[in-house]
Amino acid sequence: EVQLVQSGAEVKKPGESLKISCKGSGYSFTSYWIDWVRQMPGKGLEWMGSIYPGDSDTKYSPSFQGQVTISADKSITTAYLQWSSLKASDTAMYYCARQGVTGWYDDYWGQGTLVTVSS
Amino acid sequence: DIQMTQSPSSLSASVGDRVTITCRASRSIGTYLNWYQQRPGEAPKLLIYAASSLQSGVPSRFSGSGSGTDFTLTISSLQPEDFATYYCQQSYSALWTFGQGTKVETK
């Protein structure tokens, strides 16, 4: 069974760093792209970027380029999303999702990680 | 970026109604168009991929159509569990984008 299990909710202060995770299981982790998607409170879905764990090829939405870093550790089948200096506007639910075999859609999603940034 | 615009932003409907949601791309995306359903407090769920292909396990009352710039998601007979927000997504370009969402509410 394909599963993406994300790390738990985080409460951070502005300026702090953070790395959240997404562990894949039940499939060949290195053969499928992983997407990260943001959902701010009461708002819609925003595609942030993708990583191919097989070779760590990465793509970023222009809106998130330079603001976050996407990485993966294929030895432990885990993808990551990290911030070096959080802002209050980073408060959101973050989802990871696996792209399907053709790479045209997200067929499996993690449960989401809620990040709250507040002083 | 390719911009995706959904209409309406919200709609009110009753169980049994036929519901249609449209999605327009800022330029042609062929059939690289997906639809997702998100219920409150849940992760999104893939309904339709490649404009008209039904994801495994999704009820047949959901259907998609369109190509180029104009796409439609239709729910043939709305069920109680279908009250949710629906998003289109383009995967034509290397940088994917979502529509702003359409909330289906009870009338």
Percent of chain B with pLDDT over 70: 100
In this prediction, residues A1-21 reach a mean pLDDT of: 98
- Provide the shortest C-alpha distance from residue A73 to chain B (in Å): 23
**pLDDT-derived band of residue A77, with 50, 70 and 90 as boundaries?**
very high
- Which residue in this structure is represented by tokens 């998130």? A64
Say what the pLDDT of residue A68 is. 98
Residues within 8 A of B (CB atoms), A 77-96 only: 95
Q: Determine which of A47, A60, A104 to mutate to test the interface with B (most B C-beta atoms within 10 Å).
A: A104
Per-residue pLDDT tens digits for A19-75: 999 999 999 999 999 999 999 999 999 999 999 999 999 999 999 999 999 999 999
Radius of gyration of chain A from its Cα atoms, rounded to whole angstroms: 14
- Pick A45's closest partner by Cβ from B44, B50, B95: B44
In this prediction, residues B43-71 reach a mean pLDDT of: 98
- Provide the shortest C-alpha distance from residue B91 to chain A (in Å): 6
Say yes or no to pLDDT of A101 above 90: no
Say what the pLDDT of residue B30 is. 97
Residues within 8 A of A (CB atoms), B 14-33 only: 32
Per-residue pLDDT tens digits for B23-54: 999 999 999 999 999 999 999 999 999 999 99
Say what the pLDDT of residue B62 is. 98
Report whether B23 contacts B73 (CB < 8 A).
Answer: yes
**pLDDT-derived band of residue A102, with 50, 70 and 90 as boundaries?**
confident
3-state DSSP assignment of residue A90: helix
Per-residue pLDDT tens digits for A79-91: 999 999 999 999 9
Residue type, A29: F
Say yes or no to pLDDT of A103 above 90: no
User: Would you call B57 an interface residue with chain A, using a CB distance cutoff of 8 Å?
Assistant: no
Q: Where are the beta strands (DSSP E) in chain B?
A: 4-7, 10-13, 19-25, 33-38, 45-49, 53-54, 62-67, 70-75, 85-90, 97-98, 102-106
Percent of chain A with pLDDT over 90: 97
**pLDDT-derived band of residue A119, with 50, 70 and 90 as boundaries?**
very high
CB atoms within 10 A of CB A80: 19
